Structure 1
Amino acid sequence: MLWGRKKDVIGLDIGSSSIKLVELAQGKSGYRLQNLGISPLPPEAIVDGALMDSVTIIDTIRELVNTTKVKTKDVVTSVSGHSVIVKKITLPFMTEAELEESIKWEAERYIPFDINDVNIDFQIFGSNAENPEMMDVVLVAAKKDIINDYVSVIMEAGLNPVIIDVDVFALENMLAINYEIAKDEVVAIANVGASTTNINILKNNVSGFTRDIFKGGNQITEDIQRQLHVDHQEAEEIKVGSKMDVASRTIVQNLLKKGSESLAVEIRNSLDFYQSSTTYEKISKLHLSGGGSRIKDFDLILQEEIGIPVEVVDPFRKIECNEKKFDLEYLKEIGPVMAVGVGLASRKVGDR
């Protein structure tokens, strides 16, 4: 959606705990998975969306490109966090050209940053449901220094950044590819990353509300590390239930329950805020993605907290995957982590 020539691209999801690469090919019958890879990042390489260790990030991107043997150089990536603002606003009807002229002045009313320090983009979504004389617009602003940092590491890795998107919109694209949503149905996506949780609420496949919660799976990992005196990797394995010592089972279960409930409450608060501030119908389902979706029993705890069905996403659900090239069980296991990457890879050079 933001700052972006039409041909295939690499989707590069630069997250705070890992970098994910996805390459898709689009044919007449849909998308086909071409390439996929994931490499971990050390803690503190990225903090609140800010790139703190560019050298390691560049090396990790290069390693991913070499390992997956991708030939495409054009990259779509995305940003989120404190330096990104996504706001749905209502304005008097005007043409896109007119809005292009006035968006900077409109944005100043909604953006808590110096307007000269941000890149601004927008998308018009048509007439407002309650006042047909007005139009709904999604306004996006991202700090220039953050955008420049992401562009810089991608170029230093030998690639060509063509679009900088926003995590919540990449998730929206992933959902549109893989899931059919009924007319007027309202659904939510919660992408639980290591340090940030992205919330996007959609009606008719259009964002009605977005929010970033600055809490994710890392807090639970760190609690496990402190309590059990284990390293980061072992704590991650314990968190997803793949490794648990009988002697520490009760401690781990309590930590997982407490951490999951705390995160579930934050997500519920966002859903409640949306529903209290709109006349839209009740949210029918929440689609759960991100590494945090793999926390043992988190989907069940979240469903109990918010009172609506929760489904862990499969971003490859309607994407053709050659089982001679890709391990389908592995794709199922890591699928939720690749959701943003799939959404990014569905873009084309030249997209707005």
Structure 2
Amino acid sequence: MLTRFTQMVARLFRPRSFVGLDIGSTTVRVTRFRRGRAGPDEIVCLQQELLGDDSTELGADAVSQRLRVLFQEHSLFGVPVVVAMPTHWVFSRILTIPFTDPKKVAQVISYETEELIPLGLDEVVFDHTIIDSHEGESTVLVAAVPQDRMTQYLELLANAGIDPVSMDLDSLALFHFYRYALKESAQDVVLIDIGASKSTICIVSGGKLRVIRSIMMAGESLTRNLAAHLGGTHAEAESEKHQFVVPEDDDGFDVSNPDLKALRDFLDPFTTEIRNTIQAHETAAGLTITQLYLCGGGAKLNGLSAYLAHRLNIQIVNSLDGRFGTAQKKGDLWDGDYASSLGLAVRPALWGHGVSINLRQGPFSIPHRERSAKQKSWMRLVVGVMLVVGIGFANFYVDYSIKETRLQTLKDTLRQDFRTTFPDITSIVDPVQQGRMALDQAKQRLSVFGHNDPATILLILADLTEHLPADRTLEVNELIVEGAKVKIEASTDSFESVDAIKAALTNSERLVEVVVSDARMGAKPGQVKFRVTSVVGAE
């Protein structure tokens, strides 16, 4: 209960804005995501080329400088940043562990990881995440990156003034994007981000992560093929590539055409890698992947979606779900190029869904002093909130207990007084209401003496006693004298006795207008109930 309350407090006060930073070999893409509370989410997309004037890749210092300028121009400094570690730099495996308890998984994962990577554990930083649990087993994604790679990457970011709060995998960024934007429209889908130097594959089945991998074939591979076949420059080949229209099937390729031959030489192994990845998963899991989502700059090749859909016998996912559709999208026009950066930015908004990696571990974690300050700040906040809530609850409980005790004492006293005052009433449900009714009835009976002379009442009773037939069974249940009217409710043994009683009362000189009404059989055998109304005559 306390853990859940702490999580709720943390979620309420955690930052609403995050920046997803996707650094490619030729372009850096940035997405700023702001969670909407009362309104829709806000998504701002930005990009910056990382090529020199001669279309060559920039060095680390130049990349840092362009990142710094981009963040300054768009006021991104101070917003928490989540960055992706390129998957081809990372040793990653999906393992099956015979535990479902996260603590036990964490205890054994280092031993499992040591056997899977070619480096010692002291040479890497690693993290893990549980992606599925069932039947006493956990499916765990483990990722490890060499420390020298981490040092190189963090230095590049530090030179740009960026200190990321988390370092995820670019393949997992696709999964985060799926959870935010595609979950409602696709359940068994392969997401492919075709970049410049690599393509990242993420397979989701049943709404859960199943496979991640990178292949070193992407847009730059096609450009190099074209340059080799055409004998031109890199820039000419890049320009020619954007003029391509990929045929829908293999029959549309004319191998005598150098452009189409270069395209065919790229697409055949590329498609084969994707097909093998999908088929390996389908064979192992016994499930079928039915949908494809393409993103990244390389996915803009004309006709590529239709070609892959035909070759892979798979359906293209075009529509995004309602949550993404209603978000306010600003900056550059949204397209699939920003899928990975958006996935990184929304990852904190998916907090609590469990599947995430943070490679800022060990010596690369956020500096101890800053982390300790943040932890102390959070602890003070949580303790303060808990203290206020605790005091409020204790005050409410004490006040409630005192009032409840007083109320119960009053109820017990009232019931005791009611039993003493009205001993004939044995069933007590609502003593206040029942007491009011009993008092009203008593007042009604006592009102007789307020309007009639008591001596007259006694004479009426004597007259009734004198005239009622002694040979008839008679049980008077109620006798009411209201002014000049006398009402009797009684029971006897037959309707004949009722007539005899009426006749006897009619012979009284004091009673006139004797009327019998409501004569009926009673609940007991041989019982007849009836009512008699008469008027006391003037003296």
Residues 262-310 of structure 1, C-alpha deviations (whole Å, 9 max, x = no match) = 311221121122222222x210101111111112222122112211113
Counterpart CA distance in 2 for 1:69 and 1:255 is 43
Which of the two has higher C-alpha Rg? 2
Moved more, 29-38 or 153-162: 29-38
Aligned CA distance change for structure 1 residues 295 and 350 (closer, same or farther; 3 Å): closer
Q: Contact 1:177 / 1:318 at 8 angstroms: preserved in 2?
A: no
Q: For the residues of structure 2 that align with 1:283 and 1:202, how far apart are their CA atoms?
A: 8
Which deviations, in whole Å up to 9, do the C-alpha atoms of 1:232-263 show, x marking residues without a partner? Answer: 344333223289xxxxx943333234322331
Structure 1 pair 6–150 and aligned structure 2 pair: CA distance change class (3 A): farther
User: Which structure has more helix as a fraction of its residues?
Assistant: 2
**What residue identity is the alignment partner of 1:173?**
H
Q: For residues 152 and 342 of structure 2, what CA distance do their matches in structure 1 show?
A: 22
User: Contact (CA 8 Å) 2:29, 2:45: kept in 1 or not?
Assistant: no
C-alpha distance after superposition, 1:127-158 (max 9, x if no partner): 23xxx022222212222222222221111101
Instruction: For 1:27-46, list aligned pairs within 5 A.
Output: 27-28=36-37, 29-42=39-52, 45=57
Is the contact between residue 81 and residue 165 of structure 2 (CA under 8 Å) also seen in structure 1?
yes
3-state SS of 2:196 partner: coil
Look up the match of 1:240.
242
SS at match of 1:195: coil
Residue 118 (structure 1) aligned with residue 145 (structure 2):
no
Given that residues 182 and 204 in structure 1 are in contact (C-alpha distance below 8 angstroms), is that contact kept between their aligned partners in structure 2? Answer: no
Q: Deviations over 1:199-248 (max 9, x none)?
A: 111123321111111111111111223344544344333223289xxxxx
Q: Which of 294, 302, 310 pairs up with 1:288?
A: 294
RMSD (Å), alpha carbons = 3.0
Unaligned stretches of 5+ in structure 1? 47-52, 244-248
Residue 60 of structure 2: aligned partner: 54
Query: Which AA in structure 2 matches 1:295?
Result: L
Find out whether 1:159 has 2:162 as its counterpart: yes
Query: How far does residue 24 in structure 1 lie from its aligned partner after superposition?
Result: 1.2
2:348 maps to 348
Distance in 2 (alpha carbons) for counterparts of 1:233 and 1:339: 26
Q: Structure 2: how far apart are the matches of 1:312 and 1:114?
A: 44
Distance in structure 2 (CA, Å) of the matches to 1:6 and 1:241:
47
Does the 8 Å contact 1:186/1:202 carry over to 2?
Answer: yes
Partner Cα separation in structure 1 for residue 275 and residue 46 of structure 2: 33
Q: For 2:319 and 2:272, how far apart are their aligned partners in 1?
A: 20
- Give the structure 2 partner of residue 208 of structure 1: 210
- The residue aligned with 2:270 is 263
Q: Report if the CA contact (8 A) 2:123-2:146 is conserved.
A: yes
Residues 221 and 239, structure 1, Cα contact 8 Å, conserved in 2: yes
Of 45, 68, 73, 2:74 maps to 68
Equivalent-residue separation in structure 1 for 2:56 and 2:61 (angstroms): 13
User: 1-side partners of 2:277 and 2:21: how far apart?
Assistant: 27
Q: After superposition, give the CA deviation of every residue in 1:152-174 in whole Å (9 maximum; x if it has no partner).
A: 11111012211100011111111
SS in 1 for 2:21: strand
Supply the AA of the counterpart residue of 1:83. W
2:179 aligned partner, one-letter code: A
1:86 matched to which residue of 2? 92
1:35 and 1:68 in contact (8 A); partners too: no
Partner in structure 2 of residue 19 of structure 1 = 28
User: Which structure has the highest strand share of the two?
Assistant: 1
Amino acid at match of 2:239: E
Change beyond 3 A, Cα 1:205–1:111: farther
Aligned residue for 2:28, secondary structure, equals: strand
Supply the distance in 2 between the matched residues of 1:57 and 1:349 (Cα, whole angstroms). 28
2:84 counterpart letter in structure 1: S
The answer (yes or no) to whether the contact 2:31–2:45 under 8 Å persists in 1 is yes
Amino acid at match of 1:156: N
What is the match of residue 105 of structure 1?
Answer: 111
The number of aligned residues is 325
Paired residue for 2:523?
Answer: none
1:80 to 1:283, Cα distance in 2 relative to 1, 3 A: same
User: Are the equivalent residues in 2 in contact too, given 1:192–1:290 (CA < 8 A)?
Assistant: yes
TM-score by length of 2: 0.55
The letter of the residue matching 2:270 is L
- Structure-2 change in CA distance of 1:111 and 1:236 (3 Å): same
Bigger CA drift: 146-155 or 65-74? 65-74
Q: Which has the higher contact order (CA 8 A, sep 6+)?
A: 1
In the alignment, residue 213 of structure 2 is paired with which amino acid? R
% identical aligned pairs: 23
The one-letter code of the counterpart of 1:238 is E
What TM-score comes out, normalization by structure 1 length?
Answer: 0.82
Superimposed CA distance per residue, residues 16-62 of structure 1 (whole angstroms, 9 cap, x where no aligned partner): 2211111111113542113522323357748xxxxxx3112212212
Alignment CA distance shift 1:314-1:225 (3 Å): farther
Name the counterpart of 1:339.
339
Equivalent residues of 2:97, 2:105 under 8 A apart: no
- Looking at structure 1, the residues matched to 117 and 326 of structure 2 have their Cα atoms a distance apart, in angstroms, of 37
Quote the residue 1:278 is aligned against: 285
* Residue of structure 2 equivalent to 1:187: 189
Q: Distance in 2 between matches of 1:343 and 1:288?
A: 14
Work out whether 1:143 is the aligned partner of 2:146.
yes
Deviation at 1:181, TM superposition (A): 4.2
Quick one: structure 1 residues 143 and 18, their matched pair in 2 at CA, closer, same or farther if it must change by over 3 Å?
Answer: same
The answer to whether the Cα contact below 8 Å between 1:299 and 1:312 also exists between their aligned partners in 2 is: no
